[in-house]
Amino acid sequence: MKVVIAGAGSVGSSIARELLSNNHDILLIDQKPEVIGRSGLKGARWLIGDACEITTLRDAKLEEADVVVSATGDDKVNLVVSLLAKSEFGVGRTVGRVNNPKNDWMFDDSWGVDVAVNTPRLMTALVEEAVEVGDLVRLLTLQTGVASIVEFTVPHDSALIGSTLGTVDWPQDATVVAILRDDAPITPSADDVIEANDELFFVTTIAAEQELRSVLLARPAGAAAGDGSADRA
């Protein structure tokens, strides 16, 4: 897969390093020649120039790219690169880094962004995931305002424990795509039994998140809120 990454800072370099380890063809675009030496990236190709300029993107042969990643520290640049990649070069998939959460609403298909990665929101979500077992955490927004990837860590008192995935009445617009159990990923099937501490990952529409939350947070039979059982113990 040919991937073009605009911005060779810490984020862009980290993405490139991971993709290179998986044998993808990587081209990085940056305005500063010195980033080549300090990046430590072996096997990557480089283009020094302004990624917002059509001439630079032509030199990068963007029309041949499978994916364009806009990973600079400037949201305006990331939006322009994504828009040009889509509108001028017909790139099939674009990923845009959102630096300021206030700009998140702009990173959608009207600006040519297929996937918006809001780094501060993602970091917050990961923190919440660690401290809020039993709540639904949005990890990533796909095509802003349409779909998302969410995670739910099954608490010890969950009504879902012991149920198979196929017997749970999931919302129509939510799909279990992975289970993480004891640090090992599992490809889900209808026969998989849900266990305490399982991390369930879903792709869901934004509109279906609340319904999904209701299913995940359903209380076990006989555990109605405010029944005072804890006080009588």
Which two structure tokens, joined as six digits, stand for 77? Answer: 């640049």
The residue among 90, 116, 142 that closes a domain is 116
DSSP secondary-structure letter at 190? T
Distances from the Cα of 197 to the Cαs of 113, 129, 146, 175, 182, in angstroms?
Answer: 34, 12, 28, 19, 8
If you average pLDDT over every residue of the chain, what do you get?
Answer: 86
Tokens 């029309």 — which residue?
Answer: 63
pLDDT of 115: 85
Answer yes or no: is 224 within a domain: no
Which two structure tokens, joined as six digits, stand for 138? Answer: 């949005």
Same domain? For 87 and 162 the reply is: no
Same domain? For 164 and 111 the reply is: no
> For the chain, how many residues are written?
233
For 148-178, the pLDDT digits (tens) are: 888 898 999 999 999 999 999 999 999 999 9
For 37-63, the pLDDT digits (tens) are: 888 888 999 999 999 999 999 999 999
Query: Taking the model in full, what pTM does it have?
Result: 0.59
pLDDT of 233: 38
Which two structure tokens, joined as six digits, stand for 182? Answer: 């004891």
- Which domain CATH number covers 54? 3.40.50.720
pLDDT of 71: 92
138, 209 contact by CB (below 8 A): yes
Nearest to 154 by CA among 202, 222, 97: 202
Alpha carbon distance 146, 219 (integer Å): 29
HSE value, Cβ hemisphere, 13 Å, CA-based, for 50:
7
For 111-143, the pLDDT digits (tens) are: 999 888 876 566 555 555 554 566 787 777 775
pLDDT of 131: 46
Number of structural domains found in the chain: 2
Indicate if the pLDDT at residue 5 is higher than 80: yes
